[in-house]
């Protein structure tokens, strides 16, 4: 390492220490890798409103078809796509899967913080869209991709596929009428404007779609 001043050296090691505190990786009883996100405020929504979130852990990867099939014996993971995200799973089914592992679905604010960090990134990696970082309509894949296959697109906390691939269920209602649940993250079916960290899509909770999946939190 080149010789650097004491102030620069202190700042460098402080940033490494903070990153380590914010990204404590662990594995749950089901073998899924999770990361712990420290509590505190972050910049939420398009208006970058400060929102405080308590410490939580979240899956680093979307739940795969292979993982979900072990829980739901009637669910068939397509051969060759076992490590793609589990889709055609309703909110209620996703909720039950997470509960079976002693976990739950993330709230909207938890999901958003895990996706954009504390500085209010528009996309998990920054403020400019990069085609190669997310499986969106721009990729022209027109299908899901294996989870974690675009590592350059991971969030500041090291969480993968929070832009594109599939929309993800969160534990939040669109309105107080409690008719629609929210999903976040965009999908292969949508362009980059839908993959922004604060953009949501509403869906009836007992519906299932080829472009909606999920991940768990606790």
- 102 within some domain: yes
Q: At 29, is the pLDDT very low, low, confident or very high (cuts 50, 70, 90)?
A: very low
- 1 within some domain: no
For the stretch 114-164, pLDDT in tens is: 999 999 999 999 999 999 999 999 999 999 999 999 999 999 999 999 999
Q: Structurally, how many domains does the chain consist of? A: 1
Q: At 2, is the pLDDT very low, low, confident or very high (cuts 50, 70, 90)?
A: very low
- 43 within some domain: yes
Contact 58, 114 (CB under 8 A): yes
- 59 within some domain: yes
Distance from C-alpha of 85 to C-alpha of 66, rounded to nearest angstrom: 9
- 218 within some domain: no
* Residue 44 or residue 4, greater confidence: 44
Pull the structure tokens for residue 196: 């922004």
pLDDT at 32: 80
Indicate which CATH number applies to the domain containing 100: 3.90.1580.10
- Domain range spanning residue 72? 6-213
Q: What pTM was computed for the model?
A: 0.87
Mean pLDDT of 44-67: 98
- 114 within some domain: yes
pLDDT at 25: 58
For the stretch 168-204, pLDDT in tens is: 999 999 999 999 999 999 999 999 999 999 999 999 9
Contact 86, 63 (CB under 8 A): yes
Asked if residue 88 has pLDDT above 50, the reply is: yes
Asked if residue 96 has pLDDT above 50, the reply is: yes
Contact 214, 104 (CB under 8 A): no
Pull the structure tokens for residue 179: 């008719």
- 53 within some domain: yes
């Amino acid at each position: 390492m080149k010789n650097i001043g004491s102030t620069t050296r202190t700042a460098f090691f402080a940033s490494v220490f903070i990153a380590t505190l914010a990204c404590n990786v662990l594995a749950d009883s089901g073998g899924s890798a999770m990361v712990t996100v420290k509590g505190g405020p972050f910049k939420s929504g398009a208006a970058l409103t400060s929102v405080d979130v308590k410490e939580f852990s979240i899956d680093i990867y979307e739940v795969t078809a292979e993982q979900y099939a072990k829980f739901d014996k009637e669910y068939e993971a397509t051969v060759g796509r076992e490590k793609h995200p589990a889709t055609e799973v309703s909110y209620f089914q996703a909720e039950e899967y997470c509960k079976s592992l002693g976990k739950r679905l993330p709230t909207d604010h938890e999901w958003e913080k895990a996706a954009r960090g504390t500085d209010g990134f528009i996309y998990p990696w920054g403020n400019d869209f990069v085609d190669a970082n997310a499986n969106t309509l721009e990729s022209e894949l027109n299908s899901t991709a294996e989870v974690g296959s675009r590592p350059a697109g991971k969030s500041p906390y090291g969480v993968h596929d929070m832009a594109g691939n599939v929309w993800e269920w969160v534990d939040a209602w669109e309105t107080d009428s409690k008719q629609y649940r929210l999903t976040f993250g965009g999908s292969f079916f949508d362009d980059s404007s839908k993959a922004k960290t604060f953009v949501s899509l509403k869906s009836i909770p007992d519906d299932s779609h080829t472009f909606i999946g999920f991940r768990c939190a606790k």
